[in-house]
Structure 1
C-alpha cells in the first residue's frame, strides 16, 4: 500500500520552511544553511569521526559495516533521553551532507520521537523525506527559479543541492508548470 501523508502535511512542511527563514531573517526564497538551522534550533551536529568518544557504540557500527551506507542519524541522550544530536557522514559530497542534515532537522522540527537505534518509524521517515528538501528549496524558491529559467545546474549550485533534488522540488511544487503556463499566456519564450 502506498504511503499517504496526513491531511495538510505538505502545506505544513512549506510553512515550516518559511517560518525558519523568517526566524533567521532570510527572504522566503533564499538559500538556507542546514548547519545554521541546527545551531538556531540548538541541535549539536557532529561528523562521524567526532562521535568516537561521545557515542562509542554508534561510532563502532557506523564506521564499520554501515560506513558506506550511513548518511545521518539523530541520536538522543541527556538525563531523560530527550536531547537531540545529529551525526552525519562527512565523507559524502557536500550537497548530500546538506540533504542528510535537512532530513534529520525535519525529524526535529516535526518533533518525531526517538526510536531504537537504527530502527525507524516509516511514517516519520516519509514526512522527513518531504520536509527536508522543502527546507532547502521551499515553494517560493522553486517558483523564482522556474521563472528565471536558470539551468538546473546553476539553480542546484546556488542552493547547495543536487540536480536531482532541485529537479524534484521544481516538479513537486508545480513551479515548472506555473512558469510554463505564465509564459504561454504572455507569449514569452524565456
Structure 2
C-alpha cells in the first residue's frame, strides 16, 4: 500500500485545532483523505480548497453538490485576472465560478474522508475540515502535431489534493458557515 506524505502530521493538526478552536484533541480524533494525481485544474482546486476549509463535512458536501448543479458558485480570490465579474452575494468578492469537474472530485474525496472517519469510529456530524490543500502533481507529456512536421507540447497537469478533518465537541462545531452577504 502506498504511503502518502501529508503536509500536516496528526500532532500538527491537533495543535492547529487548539490554536483555532481552543480545544485539545487527540490524534485519534483526526481523519485524513488524499487524492493523488487528479486530472483537473490546479488553480480551481486551490480556490475550492480555500473555500471549504473551516466548514463542517456536511456543509462542504452540500455546497459542492450545489456547485455541480450550478446553483451556488465558488468565490475566486487569487486567480482572478481577466475573469468576468458577476453580481454575486459576496461582499467584496465579485469574481465567482462554478468549477464542476473540481467539485465532483472534491465530493469523491469528501466521501473518502467520511468513510475514513467512520472506520476510525468518529462522529461524522461533528467533523470540521481544518486543513485542505491542493498541490501541483506531475505533468503528463503530450504533443500536438502541427504543420510542416513540427509539434507543440500539450502537457496535462495533475493535482494532489489532501483534506484533514477533526472531530470537535458539540459546543465548538460551527452551526453554519458564515458568509458576508450583501443586503439588497
* TM-score normalised over the length of structure 2: 0.29
Compare relative contact order (CA 8 Å, sep 6+) and give the higher one, 1 or 2.
Answer: 2
Identify, as 1 or 2, the structure richer in strand.
2
More helix by share: 1
